[in-house]
Amino acid sequence: MILPILVVRHCLEENLGSWQDVFVQEKIPFTYRDIYRGESLPERLQAYSGVILLGGFMGVYEEDRYAFLKDELVWVEKVLKAQKPLLGICLGSQVIARVLGAGVYRGYTGPEIGWKPVSLTEAGRSDPVLKALPEKFVPVHWHGDTFDLPSGAALLASSERYIHQAFRYGRSTYGIQFHVEANESLIHFWLKEDTESIEKANETKTQILEDTAEHLPGLKILAKKLWTTIKPIFQS
């Protein structure tokens, strides 16, 4: 029996995106846990093959405003100690970095928004997961915060604006800042709800939509390839 993947959501609109289609096609069981609306995180991890932490509009340091973050940080520490496969996307990567003792803070050059190139590091090119990606590719970004590289982690990818775009800690913990899972609905939600970040990043909705038409089909292909290298970790 294949155990389900536990997918932690910080807000309704942030979901697995194009990966959800892949999971359904490949009959990979998964279940959402919506901590933003009070759903609790499980004490017993044995029922799950691993954990995916999705994105969100809040900062990981806003525990006083979003009380569920406090519980999540404690719980993720348990996941790490149990050596369960763990993947964090955007805010999820920042949660992992914070639990591992790294700083997480507002980006020093402003928000990184839209379609921007990312390059794999030498470690990324040989990494068992990120080797599925080209040495240089163009994903979509939507974040205002960044993080320091956790002690003991391997830096796997960087962009021109922010060096820390992806890391691996141990064998089965990954943090990815950019949105490899993005699909049309996620991008249109960000465009509708986060005009402030678009302006701060000196981007325009028109340009982002044009870039989406150009790059999204290729990103979906890359997302599927990336999942083929992540999947063995969750099924080990």
CA–CA dist 36, 213 (Å, integer): 31
Cβ(95)–Cβ(63) below 8 Å? no
**Domain range summary for the chain, segments of one domain joined by +:** 5-234
The top-level CATH class assigned to 5-234 is: alpha beta
Q: What DSSP state is assigned to residue 179?
A: B
What Rg do the C-alpha atoms of the chain give, in angstroms? 16
The alpha carbon of 199 is separated from its chain's Cα centroid by a whole number of angstroms, namely 23
**DSSP element (H, E) containing 124:** helix 122-126
Q: How high does pLDDT run on average in the chain?
A: 96
Q: What is the pTM of this model?
A: 0.97
Provide the pLDDT for residue 13.
87
**DSSP element (H, E) containing 218:** helix 205-234
pLDDT at 1 > cutoff 70: no
Token pair 């982690």 in the structure block, residue: 153
Cβ(33)–Cβ(9) below 8 Å? yes
CA angle, 112 then 197 then 103, to 5°? 55
Of the pLDDT bands very low, low, confident and very high (cuts 50, 70, 90), residue 187 is very high
Instruction: Report the half-sphere exposure of 164 (CA within 13 A, side-chain side).
Output: 25
pLDDT at 89 > cutoff 70: yes
Cβ(141)–Cβ(117) below 8 Å? no
Of the pLDDT bands very low, low, confident and very high (cuts 50, 70, 90), residue 39 is very high
Question: What b/e sequence results for 191-218 when a residue is b if at least 16 CB atoms lie within 10 Å of its CB, and e otherwise?
Answer: beebeebbeebebeeeebeebbeebbee
Q: What is the pLDDT of residues 54-78, one digit of tens each?
A: 999 999 999 999 999 999 999 999 9
The alpha carbon of 147 is separated from its chain's Cα centroid by a whole number of angstroms, namely 13
Provide the pLDDT for residue 222.
97
